[in-house]
Amino acid sequence: MQEATLDRRQPRIELSRTDTLEKVTGKIKYTTDMIEQEALYLRFVRSSLPHAIIKHVDVSQAVKIDGVERVLTAKDVPGANEVGFFIQDQPLFCDSKVRFVGDAIAMVVADSPEAAGLTGLWCFARLIVSDTHMPINNDC
């Protein structure tokens, strides 16, 4: 049996990162360091329910919060409220129902992360069928 040997005649190339010194000394600028003073912050309001009917989205209290510039919902989307990688078949903002935890319902535009809070969002939870005997037992 022949042993594998390392060919030492191959030239060795030493690779070094060009930003190492700046990173270890704290001089490099990251994207979070480059936020403009006049920048606005966006925060999506997402569903905490896995399946629900949206009865009403009330943004009247949210727009009164100091620093909140605008609250966008499905009503503010011009044209089709649909997105998707290959087929545009998912709503950008849910307007009648949510289908999973994390579904986007609104987006708050504010001048600080703290001001980007939304209150007054009401949903009606639907029963989740999680096993085959549940519909028989619960009159779904």
CATH of residue 87's domain is 3.90.1170.50
Q: How confident is the model at residue 60 (pLDDT cuts 50, 70, 90)?
A: confident
47 domain-assigned: yes
Q: Is residue 59 part of a domain?
A: yes
**107 inside domain:** yes
- pLDDT-wise least confident of 19-28, 79-88, 110-119: 110-119
CA–CA separation, 69 vs 63, rounded Å?
A: 7
Q: Residue 5: inside a domain, yes or no? A: no
pLDDT over 90 at 78, yes or no: yes
The Cα 119–Cα 122 span in angstroms is: 9
Total domains, the chain: 1
Q: Has this prediction a pTM greater than 0.75?
A: no
The pLDDT of 111-138, averaged and rounded, is: 65
Domain coverage including residue 50: 40-138
pLDDT in tens, 31-40: 877 777 788 8
Q: With respect to residue 90, please indicate whether it lies within any of the assigned structural domains.
A: yes
pLDDT band at 1 (very low <50, low <70, confident <90, very high): low
Exposed/middle/buried for 113, CB within 10 Å: 0-12, 13-18, 19+?
Answer: exposed
In a domain, 48, yes or no: yes
Residue 140's pLDDT band, with cuts at 50, 70 and 90, is very low
What are the backbone dihedrals phi and psi of residue 120, each rounded to the nearest 5 degrees, phi first?
85, 35
Q: Answer whether residue 82 is part of any domain.
A: yes
Q: Checking DSSP bridges between strand 41-46 and strand 104-110, what pairing results, if any?
A: antiparallel
Residue, of 134 and 83, whose pLDDT is higher: 83
Per-residue confidence at 77, pLDDT binned at 50, 70, 90? very high
Indicate the average pLDDT of the chain: 80
Closest among 54, 49, 53, 42 to 118, alpha carbons compared: 42
68 falls within a domain: yes
